Amino acid sequence: MATVKGSKQYQMVVVPHRPYYRGVGVLFCLLALLAAGWLTFNYGLDQGMVKKVEVVNERDELRSQLSVSAKLVSKLRQDIAVLKLGGQVDSRANEEIQQTVEALQKEIADLSEETRFYKAVMVPNAKERGLRIERLDMKQSSEPSRFRYSLLLTQIVDKHDYIQGGVEINVLGKLGKENRSLSLVDLVEDKSKAIRFKFRYFQNIDGELNVPEGFSPREIMIVAKSSGRGSQRLEKKFDWQPTGG
């Protein structure tokens, strides 16, 4: 007897058509995404406020130190005037007091500068916004050819998000009678180490340079490049004026 072969038969199940179930599922997913976004935003906002409070507290502490130092200088000046009138101060004591006053005046100037810096970062009113090359300090080490540098970068913006990028350092000068520009690779022992930055308010970048024999530095060029959206490229020259180690 012949066998009849046909296509394979599949069982079918009839289910109710409920289109609103799909709509409810999509709505639930949207609500879950909105809730997650709201929680993430509030977490970031809380972290930003904590950092801002820390910076403001440090600024207020500097202001307090500035006020105390100013009062002490005023008192010392009054003491000097009284003692001079009474003829009770010899030249050596007077010199020591003057040195103390000068040291305190320098401290006041430094505190005033720090207060100005924090105020500029926290309450920006400068026309130049974004990444800024704030200052560069150079100090000579115990070795005549080796120098320590400290570079300060800041970010002047209304909303302090993280900014990141890299820094290039070039020293301009003369090697013999020829003008030369030496990059960081020519001045450091670790040739593979690049300078990177990532901060919200400011960052100090410290390092060492080794000036080759026969090279006379004249200027130092700093190039800072930020990455990401709204990237910037800044150049700033500083005179080669290192202080003693």
Residue with tokens 């010392």: 76
Q: What is the mean pLDDT of residues 205-210?
A: 91
Residue with tokens 């290039």: 168
pLDDT at 222 over 90: yes
> Token digits for 208?
């060492």
pLDDT tens figures, 166-207: 999 999 999 888 999 999 888 887 776 789 999 888 899 999
pLDDT tens figures, 70-110: 888 888 888 777 766 666 556 666 777 788 888 888 887 77
Q: What is the mean pLDDT of residues 11-16?
A: 56
pLDDT of residue 40: 75
> Token digits for 127?
């026309």
pLDDT tens figures, 115-142: 666 666 655 555 667 888 988 999 988 8
pLDDT tens figures, 140-159: 888 888 999 999 998 877 77
Beta bridge partners of 210: 146
pLDDT of residue 24: 60
Q: What is the mean pLDDT of the chain?
A: 78
Q: Label residue 112 by pLDDT band (50, 70, 90).
A: confident
Residue with tokens 């066998």: 3
pLDDT tens figures, 20-74: 556 666 666 777 777 777 777 666 666 666 666 677 777 778 788 888 888 888 8
Q: Are 154 and 200 in contact (CB under 8 A)?
A: no
pLDDT of residue 177: 85
* Angle 191-193-195 from CA coordinates, rounded to 5°: 125
**Cα–Cα dist 166/151, whole Å:** 12
* Angle 125-106-52 from CA coordinates, rounded to 5°: 35
Q: Between residues 12 and 175, which one has the greater pLDDT?
A: 175
**Cα–Cα dist 73/134, whole Å:** 30
pLDDT of residue 165: 94
Q: Is 203 exposed, middle or buried (0-12, 13-18, 19+ CB in 10 A)?
A: middle
pLDDT of residue 87: 62
User: What counts of helices (H) and strands (E) characterise the chain?
Assistant: 2, 8
For residue 154, count other CB atoms closer than 10 A to its CB: 21
Residue with tokens 């599949």: 10
**Cα–Cα dist 90/142, whole Å:** 38
Q: Are 138 and 68 in contact (CB under 8 A)?
A: no
Cα separation of the two ends of the chain? 110
Q: What is the 3-state secondary structure (H, E, C) of 219-242?
A: EEEEEEEECCCCCCEEEEEEECCC
What's the pTM value of the predicted model, to 2 decimals? 0.53
**Cα–Cα dist 91/163, whole Å:** 55
**Cα–Cα dist 108/173, whole Å:** 36
pLDDT at 2 over 60: no
pLDDT of residue 104: 82
